Chain A
Amino acid sequence: MAKVPVQFTLNGSEKAEFIESGTTLLHALRDKIGDTSPKGGCHQGTCGACSVIIDGELRLSCLMLAETCSGADIQTAAGLAEGGMLHPLQRAFLDAFATQCGFCTPGMIIAAKVLLDHTPNPSREDVVEALSGNICRCTGYEPIIQAVLAAARANSQNAA
């Protein structure tokens, strides 16, 4: 099968790979590049476990072809902690008991990050709306919503 070159920035580092044409970004990240933080739950765009940020926008990596991502700036949950310091959202998920099996967690945190990047002081409805594409089968959504709201509060205090 034909291989195509792709080149993008992943969590700040340059990546270049030859991949089979038609490979999803999810497979390219997990199987080729070795970033397994995006998870494959449904491979059909319905669970949100594979969520990544591409050029600042929330994207489902199971529905993106890797070859369309050349030149893009991609962020995943694996790149959120900086210098060994957890991102406020990661801290908040820990503190609010917002993870159980953890399979949905990277996708949840990514969806929440896009929300907070665009809307630093979200209402509860904003959070619910932003997470509506992410399925969690273990935790129940309330602790997750509380974690995102807590992270937003922590952020605005830091900014003040």
Chain B
Amino acid sequence: MELRKDYFADVRKDGLNEIGQPRPRLDSPGHVTGKTAYFADRNFPGMLHLKMVRSPHHHARIRSIDTSEAEKHPGVVRVLTARDVPHNVYTILILIQIGPEDETVLADGKVRWKGEAVVAVLAETERAALEAAAKVRVDYEVLPAVFDMEEALKPGAPVVNEYHGQNYYLYDSGECRKVRFGDVEAGFAQADHILEQTYQSSPIEHAPTETTGCVVAPEGNDRFTCYTNTQAMFFTLDNASIILQMPGSKLHFVGGTVGGGFGGKVDVIVEPIAILAAKLTGRPVSFIYSREEEMQISSPRAAEKVVIKDGVMKDGRIVARKVIGYTDAGAYSRHSPYGAQKGAAHYPGPYTIPNVWIDTYCVYTNRTPSSAMRGFGVTIGDFALEVQMDKLARLIGMDPFEFRFINAYRDGDMKAHRQPTEGAALIECMQETSRAANWPVAEKYMAMSSYRKGA
């Protein structure tokens, strides 16, 4: 691999020993010999299998739950409901003071999405657990549901999540995250062209090859070891500690190799209930999503809607940008308030625009709760922004790549969040790209630099 040494020669360190050198992955010998231990490779004598009874409705009040037939089923050891969970209402980001707590470990009084966990069944075999789960009787009163973000924001829409009180996350800045820079209306008034477009995405499932799950072994002295494929070990440990009202010193989490995650294994869903089950039965417990559960139940990337309005001059300068972004959190927050906030920070793009106005909403609907996935909050935004950039270039009859050189941020430029740009290197990346992709741009762009002397 060849390293370009002419860029940033004054700030680059030379004599790199690692960067640019091929190094074998430390874990691959275990992978190719089948010796790498994944959580489900742990097997304990007397292990119980946990299966969830899940809501068949998008939104419903629970009138009653009858577990008597399930409890009589051969092989069943215990059935758990909301009453068994010490601190049943939680939210993952409470650890960094992002509340309110808004999600139930096991549904209590109401279900807010189709697939929500209601009752946990523990049995000697997977088959007995599945058969018994089918015998749990839940009496539901179906409620009106809302699936569209703009519908959810209208007055009179069914309230999805009472812990919020309204169908949006209330930031300290109000009903949305806001960015205000310059005077966007003055910018539009000055623009030669205005282009407003709406971009939308669907939820996307990560589909890791290994499904989500954990195996819990009681260790005596009221201590538990939890083998898990979480991607967020300390979020999981601390949230389990809150949910179970147990000190973290009683909980020993063993992570390690995760069989694919892509962000889909950062939520804290399987571990607390499996530890509780091990505590209440005194037996090892395995809780592993079936492939169907993985696809239906695990949180996807949020559906998003992005409305972008840009004002552009004939010479290619973008002079105003107004963005309204909507992130579909589904029924519960999980990581979505953060995702929507990242969008607000991201929508100016890597471009210098003098007048910017951004609102991003985190909206609750009766859909599967969404959460982290590879650059969540910004990936769909980038798709929208870059398609918009192509459309703007076409509108003024300019090469889309040259159009980006004109607007690229450079060192010293003030960003919409009032942070001066430092170490941008975008121009240089685009120049390399121009060569590598054989997409020539005019000489004046090849002569540009992100680095401004004195900046």
Contacts and interface: CB of A to CB of B under 8 A. Distances in A.
Contacts of B38: 36, 39, 103
Contacts of A4: none
Contacts of A106: 31, 34
B291 A41 contact: yes
Interface residues of B, number: 32
Contacts of A47: 209, 291
B260 A137 contact: yes
Contact of B257 (A30, A34, A101, A104): A101
B166 to A, nearest CB: 37
B33 A77 contact: yes
Nearest to B22: A97
Contact of A135 (B28, B209, B257): B209
Interface residues of A, number: 42
Interface string A2-26: 0000000000000000001000000
A136 B208 CA distance: 9
A135 B209 CA distance: 7
Contacts of A42: 291
Given A39-B259, A99-B28, A137-B262, A104 B209 contact: yes
Contact of B259 (A37, A78, A80, A102): A102
A90 B28 CA distance: 9
A109 B260 contact: no
B411 interface: no
B209 A136 contact: yes
Interface string A123-158: 000000000000111100000000000000000000
Interface string A79-101: 01100001001100110010111
B35 interface: yes
A77 B30 CA distance: 11
Interface string B241-284: 00000000000000001111110000000000000000000000
A61 interface: no
Nearest to B40: A40
A135 B424 CA distance: 38
Contact of A105 (B32, B125, B206, B207): B32
Interface string B35-55: 111101101000000000000
Given A44-B291, A101-B260, A102-B36, A137 B28 contact: no
A106 B260 CA distance: 15
B33 A81 contact: yes
Nearest to B42: A36
Contacts of B28: 93-94, 99, 102
Given A42-B291, A102-B27, A103-B209, A86 B32 contact: yes
Nearest to A109: B32
B260 A30 contact: no
A97 B43 CA distance: 30
B336 interface: no
Contacts of B206: 137
- Is the contact region of chain A dominated by helix, strand, or loop, or is it mixed? loop
Given A97-B25, A102-B259, A103-B260, A90 B209 contact: no
A43 B291 contact: yes
Contacts of B260: 101, 103, 137-138
Q: Select the residue from A89, A94, A101 with max chain B CB neighbours within 10 A.
A: A101
Given A94-B29, A101-B259, A138-B260, A78 B35 contact: yes
B185 interface: no
B33 A90 contact: yes
Nearest to B29: A94
Contact of A103 (B33, B43, B207, B259): B259
A160 B211 CA distance: 44
B290 interface: yes
B91 to A, nearest CB: 28
Contacts of B210: 39, 41, 49, 101, 103
A41 B211 contact: yes
Contacts of B36: 102
Contacts of B27: 102
A99 B25 contact: yes
B209 A31 contact: no
A100 to B, nearest CB: 8
B32 A41 contact: no
A34 to B, nearest CB: 8
A1 B124 CA distance: 12
B24 interface: yes
Contact of B31 (A34, A49, A89, A99): A99
A134 to B, nearest CB: 10
B33 A78 contact: yes
B209 A86 contact: no
A39 to B, nearest CB: 7
Contacts of B259: 39, 41, 101-103
Nearest to A136: B209
30 contacts: A1-B125, A35-B34, A36-B38, A39-B209, A41-B259, A44-B291, A77-B34, A78-B34, A81-B33, A86-B32, A90-B32, A93-B31, A94-B24, A94-B28, A94-B32, A97-B25, A99-B28, A99-B31, A101-B209, A101-B258, A102-B257, A103-B210, A103-B260, A106-B34, A135-B209, A137-B209, A137-B260, A137-B262, A138-B209, A138-B260
Given A36-B34, A100-B25, A102-B27, 6 more contacts: A36-B41, A39-B209, A101-B31, A101-B210, A101-B260, A103-B209
Interface of B: 24-25, 27-38, 40-41, 43, 125, 206-211, 257-262, 290-291
Listed from nearest, the 5 A-B pairs whose CB atoms lie closest are A37-B34, A102-B31, A103-B259, A77-B34, A36-B41
